[in-house]
Amino acid sequence: MNEMNLSGQVALVTGSSRGLGRHYALHLARAGADVIIHDVNAMAAAQFGEAASGVAVAEEIRSLGRRSAFLTADLTDPEQIEKFAQRAIAQFGHIDILVNNAGGDIGANSPRPDPNNALDIKVEDIRNVLDVNLLNVMCMCKYVGSHMRERRRGKIINVGSAAAHYPTTVGVIYASAKAGIAHYTRCLGEQMRPYEVNVNCIAPAATSTGRFKATRVADDHLAFEGSRLEKVAQPEDMAKIVLFLAGPASDYLTGETIVCHH
């Protein structure tokens, strides 16, 4: 079975020097793809002890026999996004798979907005959360998607969040930005339909990454009890869904969001 043979394809995964992005990149490489690693800077990977650096993650990919490079860009800046996309395409020749993973509930001057509800949140935190999540996805899709439209081939995988699919009073702007990604995915999927480019979204559940462990309170240990479908997800649980969306098994699926939650 060659269902997951991505040989000859080039994947670009944003925010891939750490967390779920790194796992997505490694799974795509193991399936045969060359993978472009990205983060805001080389040392972002070390923040939660998940990798030594972005360069080290690119080395991990190369050790699997694939081409790789580590490229930096601040994805809250549309000009940097355009240059980043151009650089990636120039260096690797083409991009077949785009995984818009970069994002997070991140304050303008703090790890998370504080306060983090709908009314008391600071305006600068609203703007930062929207830039980090929604703007970055729309601009990445604009520049890499135009390249895919020209080539009449490609898979775009946007990363939303299960938080977008039920009401909350904490992380409201983050959840709303991720809900925007789900609808943007529907719309872009429709626009790309004539060009044979698939656009889908994964909305991951809470997943046991370095950032998750570092930012959760002690009583969250309860989330690691129960059946497989009740526990906090492991990175490979989400990575396998990304592989499905990147591979031929999803060739007739577009505009959809796969929502994962327990």
Which residues carry out catalysis? 174
Helices then strands (H, E): number in the chain? 8, 7
C-alpha angle 39/40/42, rounded to 5°?
A: 70
Q: Please count the other Cβ atoms lying within 10 Å of the Cβ belonging to residue 232.
A: 21
Q: Are the C-beta atoms of residues 50 and 108 closer than 8 Å to each other?
A: no
Task: Give φ, ψ of 47 to 5 degrees.
Answer: -55, -45
Question: Residue 23: exposed, middle, or buried by beta-carbon count in 10 A (0-12, 13-18, 19+)?
Answer: buried
